[in-house]
Amino acid sequence: MDTEQRTFRLRLERTAAMDAAEAVLATLRRGGVQLHAMRMAPGVHGMNLDLDVAAEGEDALVLARMRLCNLIGVLKIRVQAPI
């Protein structure tokens, strides 16, 4: 099976950014998604969290994105394919 790579760009609530980031990382770990890089910076409407992730097959990444949408403190998620 091929390894699929994506960049998840999340917007987190500013007041709960660290708690939300911890929940995001735990969700990825439990889902078998590999974290290659993480960047966090303040944004206009919250904290921006960029995650470079990979998994065996696209299904694991789709499931991880659906699970991340349900986390408290995650306001928005965009997925970007690698260039």
Question: Mind listing the pLDDT tens digit for each residue in 63-81?
Answer: 999 999 999 999 999 999 7
pLDDT digits (tens, 9 = 90+) for 17-54: 999 999 999 999 999 999 999 999 999 999 999 999 99
Decide if pLDDT at 60 tops 80. Answer: yes
**Residue 83's pLDDT is what?**
60
53 — phi, psi (to 5°)? Answer: -125, 165
pLDDT digits (tens, 9 = 90+) for 2-16: 899 999 999 999 999
**Residue 1's pLDDT is what?**
61
**Residue 4's pLDDT is what?**
93
Burial of 50-78, coded b for 16+ CB within 10 Å and e otherwise, reads ebbbebeeeebbeebbebbeebebbeebe
Half-sphere exposure of 14 (CA within 13 A, CB side): 5
pTM: 0.90
